[in-house]
């Protein structure tokens, strides 16, 4: 990474250097989508696009999971990782 950008040997832009939550915030701010749509754009829609929706991108038994809990301002407050075999959600 140089000056916040990933570039190949020829200087061509090679990707992004932002966090997933920053991408969600950008989608909401610049594409005028809801939080739910922005989260789907970062999870299930990507999983479907890369044909991995049989194991990632959804909260389903047996799927790999990485959960990030946020406050109302979308600041990360906790990160959990694992497999969704026996998940109990408490509201």
pLDDT for the residue numbered 84: 54
Q: Is residue 15 part of a domain?
A: no
Is 39 in contact with 24 (CB distance < 8 Å)?
yes
Q: Is residue 91 part of a domain?
A: no
pTM of the model: 0.68
Q: Is residue 42 part of a domain?
A: yes
Average pLDDT, the chain: 82
Q: Is residue 9 part of a domain?
A: no
Domain range holding 56? 20-83
Return d(Cα 55, Cα 45) in angstroms, integer.
Answer: 13
pLDDT digits over 48-57, tens only? 999 999 999 9
User: In the chain, how many domains are there?
Assistant: 1
């Amino acid at each position: 990474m140089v000056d916040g950008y990933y570039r190949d040997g020829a200087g061509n832009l090679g990707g992004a250097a932002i966090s997933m939550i920053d991408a969600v915030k950008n989608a909401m701010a610049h594409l005028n989508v809801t939080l739910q749509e922005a989260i789907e754009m970062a999870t299930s829609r990507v999983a479907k696009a890369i044909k991995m929706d049989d194991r990632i991108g959804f909260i389903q038994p047996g799927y790999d999971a990485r959960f990030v809990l946020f406050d109302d301002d979308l600041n990360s407050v906790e990160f959990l990782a694992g497999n969704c075999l026996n998940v109990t959600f408490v509201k």
